[in-house]
Structure 1
Amino acid sequence: MKRLGPSFTFEKQPTRHPGLDGARGLAVLAMVMGHTLDALLTPAARALPWVQHYWAFRGVTAPLFLLVSGWAVVAALGTKPTAARDTYGRRVRRALLLIFLGYLLHWPGWGAVRDLGWTERMLTHVFAFDALQCIGFALLLGSTLLALAPVRWGRAGVLVALAVGIPLASAALWRLGSGLPGPLQQFIGSAEGSRFPFFPWAGFFFAGALAAHALHLLRPGWPQGLALLALGAGLLALTRTVPSDWSPTSPWMVAYRVGQGLMVLGAVSLAPRRLSGLLAPFGRLSLWVYVLHLPVVYGWADIAGLASRVGPTLSVPAAVGVGVALLVTCSLVAKVGQWLSAQARPWRAGSTTLAASVGSARVGTRV
């Protein structure tokens, strides 16, 4: 008779949210295609009705990216009371990396810096604020406050205050920041050229973090997916009770886009694993696909990108083909870079395997 007993495996157990990487992959796909089409489509192609509909959907891409980033941060903490303090150092390093990469992508080159001189205009240009800096500073602020907050009620209180307070305070801070130095104006949002200022865009990050905390007791998949759909639909219904406001500091705009983002995350959570599995690899490489594709499309320093070399000259099929090729190429380069990094640091792979085997043994013992 076959004996039943605990089974042990040395393979790393899947711990990632089933819809999280899929939603992030969808955002990456829409982001790369949106940037490519924006840079290369002819004016006639941009005027096509279905392209206009795609442009309307594209408005949720950046909010979804920030929303999922905040969700991932809090979801990774789990239910351990001291998790925020235990992982604080690693999260600070991650935040600093994001901030560094964000500013590096907007480096105008030594020639531009020399021509502008040591002026307010040069500092504003060099310290242009974008999505990576927004996520980096939000991660830095959120990790610090969560590490300092009381264990029982502190996490929920901090996340509610940040998710609600940042959008509500944005308009006032934009007015107060008008006389500050250029880099600070870029951070706040009152300076021209700040694409994703901390106020109000960090509100999307903390809204995702708050949703992850509120729904962490539900099982990933259908339970969380249905809850996300209900929460997103409720938020969208709430925005219909007040006049719409699409100004850049509008709390209404943040609430509306958060509602849309939660519904997208819920839909991906409910999608078959095969579908989300097709998007998940792009989601796991999202940071490096973002970093690699921007210089190719828009250029970096004094090196011209596709926007300057090709310009708005392509039809829809040609531009889509370029976008798909760019997405696949950046993903392959990122994957090869990850492999080379793992080969250069074999001790990390060994420690990961050991940790996975110990965790598997514990699970088998409990069973």
Structure 2
Amino acid sequence: MAIKTNNRILYIDLLRAFAVIMMIQGHTVDTFLADEYRSMDSTGYSIWLTLRGFTAPIFMFAAGLIFTYLLRADTFTFLSNPRVKKGVKRAFTLIIIGYLLRYPTYRIFDFTYVSQSQWDIFFTVDALHLIGFGLLTIIMSVFFAKRMHFSLNTILISFMFILFLVSPIIAKINWDSFFPHYISAYLYTKNGSLFPLFPWLIYVLSGALLGNYLYKNEGAYFKKRFSFSLLSIGAVLLTSAFLIYTLENSLEGVINYWLDSTALILLRIGYVILVCGIMAFIARKFNSIPQLIKDTGTNTLLLYVVHVVILYGCALFPGFNKFYGKSFTGAQTIFAATIMLLLMLGLVIVVERFKKHDKIKFLFGKNAKVML
């Protein structure tokens, strides 16, 4: 069973398009804006920096939501469900692409001139690795739910609760003393990883919770209560985060690091759910959205890879960061971000037109899509 309702497609496409647009502009601004313009005294920069901190959670939440909804929407048994096999392939595809983007040499199999620092960068965990493992965790959760006759929500919430509890502890352990770099990189940020499993997996699983809810409550989406419930839950989580911050300020000692980590997680999830509530509200008000927005939402992986290569480079291309990193004024940076967004939207238009040609459908056709 596919997504049948236009409003539901609209809601998911809006969320994914918003996530990828925020990601592209965030990476572009962070790449080019000079340090002297990065001042918290600037209202514009402060707002941008705050929003940037929530971009990755939205991206991961959206990935968990759409994947879980599609996985659960099929009426097959677990082992016969084609989306399980596709999901596993997609997860490993994302992980492999994540490593290829940081591949240390253009010589492919000749590592003679690869330095240790290049290997360290290669093994760091980024968004694609995290989402890939998130999809595998969701598949495993669905398997356990069916095998043990538990509610999927119970298993997802249990995983999230464990992540809440252990993430602050995991972050304090020197995992490089126990595991090689390519394993320890998945556990904490001290060796350069941007999105280790602890606690970032929480955002993918929280998206899975909403995806499962949408699957189980087919008609709930059309009610005002759905969007207002999301807005209320988001507000409660944000309030809880600020209360924890307030409590932390009144305490001293080792307990602070646990409270700080929990508050930050709640703050991010709260913001993401608020955005979901806003998108749900918009989706109820409109019967359609521009096709370009829909296409942007279904080409997130392509847009991610292309803009990352342009900005940060790869083994074959140095990227603009090497030549112009942190050297632009505010106006120049805004111009660069605008150009990058226009380029990515242009890429979407070109790809979608190519899909209509039978001779190259095998490159961009429906069966070739790998969506985040």
TM-score relative to the length of structure 1? 0.80
Cα displacement (A) at 1:260? 0.7
How many residue pairs match? The answer is: 339
2:51 pairs, out of 57, 63, 68, with 57
Cα displacement (A) at 1:145? 2.8
Change in Cα spacing, 1:247 to 1:338, as seen in structure 2 (3 Å) is farther
Which protein shows a greater Rg? Answer: 1
Cα displacement (A) at 1:246? 7.7
2:113 pairs, out of 112, 115, 128, with 115
User: Are the counterparts in 2 of residues 68 and 208 from structure 1 also a CA contact under 8 Å?
Assistant: yes
- Whether 1:324 aligns to 2:324 is no
2:65 pairs, out of 61, 68, 71, with 71
Structure 2 CA distance for aligned equivalents of residues 351 and 56 of structure 1: 37
Which digits, 9 at most, give the CA deviation of each residue in 1:158-207, with x for residues without a partner? Answer: 21112222232223334273421101111112542100111110111001
Cα displacement (A) at 1:340? 4.3
Question: What 5-or-longer segments of structure 2 have no aligned partner?
Answer: 249-255
- Whether 1:22 aligns to 2:14 is yes
Aligned partner of 1:46 in structure 2 is 38
2:297 pairs, out of 255, 280, 283, with 283
Change in Cα spacing, 1:81 to 1:239, as seen in structure 2 (3 Å) is farther
Cα displacement (A) at 1:82? 4.1
Aligned partner of 2:235 in structure 1 is 233
- Whether 1:255 aligns to 2:254 is no
Q: Please state whether the residue corresponding to 2:193 is helix, strand or coil.
A: coil
Change in Cα spacing, 1:341 to 1:177, as seen in structure 2 (3 Å) is farther
Q: Which moved more, 1:210-219 or 1:316-325?
A: 210-219
Q: Residue type matched to 1:197 in 2? A: P
Q: Residue type matched to 2:145 in 1? A: A
Structure 2 CA distance for aligned equivalents of residues 138 and 178 of structure 1: 23
Aligned partner of 1:156 in structure 2 is 153
1:155-304 equivalences in 2 (<5 Å): 155-174=152-171, 175=173, 177-179=175-177, 180-214=179-213, 216-217=216-217, 218-221=219-222, 222-243=224-245, 250-271=261-282, 272-273=285-286, 277=290, 279-301=293-315, 303-304=317-318
Structure 2 CA distance for aligned equivalents of residues 314 and 186 of structure 1: 32
CA RMSD of aligned residues (A): 3.3
User: Are the counterparts in 2 of residues 91 and 143 from structure 1 also a CA contact under 8 Å?
Assistant: yes
Cα displacement (A) at 1:17? 3.4
Q: Please state whether the residue corresponding to 1:241 is helix, strand or coil.
A: helix
Structure 1 CA distance for aligned equivalents of residues 89 and 257 of structure 2: 35
Identity of aligned residues (%): 24
Q: Residue type matched to 1:288 in 2? A: L
Cα displacement (A) at 1:149? 2.2
Cα displacement (A) at 1:220? 2.6
Q: Which moved more, 1:292-301 or 1:45-54?
A: 45-54
Change in Cα spacing, 1:321 to 1:231, as seen in structure 2 (3 Å) is same
Cα displacement (A) at 1:123? 4.3
Structure 1 CA distance for aligned equivalents of residues 362 and 78 of structure 2: 27
Structure 1 CA distance for aligned equivalents of residues 164 and 114 of structure 2: 34
Cα displacement (A) at 1:335? 4.7
User: Are the counterparts in 2 of residues 285 and 331 from structure 1 also a CA contact under 8 Å?
Assistant: no
Which digits, 9 at most, give the CA deviation of each residue in 1:288-327, with x for residues without a partner? Answer: 1111001111121263222222233323333222222222
Aligned partner of 1:140 in structure 2 is 136
Change in Cα spacing, 1:199 to 1:351, as seen in structure 2 (3 Å) is closer
Structure 1 CA distance for aligned equivalents of residues 367 and 51 of structure 2: 42
User: Are the counterparts in 2 of residues 170 and 249 from structure 1 also a CA contact under 8 Å?
Assistant: no
Structure 2 CA distance for aligned equivalents of residues 123 and 248 of structure 1: 34
Change in Cα spacing, 1:288 to 1:299, as seen in structure 2 (3 Å) is same
User: Are the counterparts in 2 of residues 91 and 140 from structure 1 also a CA contact under 8 Å?
Assistant: yes
Q: Please state whether the residue corresponding to 1:67 is helix, strand or coil.
A: helix
User: Are the counterparts in 2 of residues 186 and 193 from structure 1 also a CA contact under 8 Å?
Assistant: yes
Question: What 5-or-longer segments of structure 1 have no aligned partner?
Answer: 1-11, 353-367
Structure 1 CA distance for aligned equivalents of residues 140 and 349 of structure 2: 31
Which digits, 9 at most, give the CA deviation of each residue in 1:225-250, with x for residues without a partner? Answer: 22211221122222233235788992
Cα displacement (A) at 1:346? 6.3
1:91 pairs, out of 87, 94, 105, with 87
